[in-house]
Structure 1
Amino acid sequence: MPEPLDDAHARPAGAPDALVAAVGKLSEALETIERARGALYDAHQLIGGADGMLDDVVDGLRATGHADWADRIARELVGRNVLPGRWTFQVIEEFDDGYYRAWKDLEREVREATMDGRRHVHEAEMKRDRITPGAPDQEPTP
């Protein structure tokens, strides 16, 4: 077996290729969940910003003689829940405390049990295997 890049990313003794690949895939899946979480936060901020813009819309409609439209927007859109009983901050809190926490905890527990807690063992081995010794900007470690 080739030498690891460093101790922090070394394959634990006896860990077979299939295990390193499976744990690497679990970490990759968690990275996808992280991206989804970011998109959820993007939606939270975008929706909040749009709701805030409605104050100017309502004021502008009232100022131009369209109180009926202003009243309807104020009644039907301003402060509206995005899900029954929930604004986006509540959706995020539930997501973070439930689904996201389960992913984070289980991925960490699997790494601790199978990779001695080491992160990115699979990627470190891919890096090691793809380095061209002596080539510019391909040093194995900082």
Structure 2
Amino acid sequence: MTGERERPDLTEIEQNAMHEVEVGVEWMLRAQGHLLAFHHAIGHGMDHLDAAEQPLRDAGYPALADHIRDDLLSRGVTADDRWTYSVVEEFQRSFLPALTEFESEARETITDGRRHVAERAQEKTWRERANR
């Protein structure tokens, strides 16, 4: 235990609900990581296309080099021409704060601000079982 006070009046339904909220938020945070990985992967791929432009031109393929320069490097990755950094920023600016605010509100309302109540209950049960 971490020294956080117990709340014996927390029902199993409340405990399960908060567990689902917390796990949902954790998955959304993982999604943010995937968005960042996507952003970095696109950037890395674009760097390679940029590096290919001049060798294609030097090898006698100016149309392919022009296609990289004019059509691929200059465009966004979404249908509305947004770049990956824009998608990451929008997620971080709009969705993520609303999500974390909701989690905080739910935690304060249901568990008096305590986190991971389901895991703490599981830890307590398993330790009690081990000590028998």
> Do both share a fold (TM > 0.5)?
yes
* Cα distance change of structure 1 residues 13 and 78 upon mapping to structure 2, 3 Å threshold: same
CA distance in 2, matches of 1:24, 1:48: 36
Aligned pair partner of 2:12 in 12, 17, 38: 17
Question: 1:139 — aligned with what?
Answer: none
CA contact (8 A) 2:50 2:68 kept: no
Give deviations 1:19-75, integer Å, cap 9, x for gaps.
111111110111111111111111000001111111211011011111111011211
Gaps in structure 1 of 5+ consecutive residues: 135-142
CA distance in 1, matches of 2:36, 2:58: 34
Question: 1:50 — aligned with what?
Answer: 45
CA distance in 1, matches of 2:96, 2:34: 13
Question: 2:95 — aligned with what?
Answer: 99
- With the length of structure 1 as denominator, give the TM-score of the two structures: 0.83
CA contact (8 A) 2:107 2:113 kept: yes
RMSD of the TM alignment (CA)? Answer: 1.6
CA distance in 1, matches of 2:29, 2:15: 21
CA contact (8 A) 2:75 2:81 kept: no
Runs (4+) off by over 4 Å = none
- With the length of structure 2 as denominator, give the TM-score of the two structures: 0.89
Question: 2:54 — aligned with what?
Answer: 59
CA contact (8 A) 1:51 1:79 kept: no
**2:74 maps to amino acid:** G
Task: Name the structure with the higher helix share.
Answer: 2
Percent identity reads 30
Aligned pair partner of 2:72 in 63, 73, 77: 77
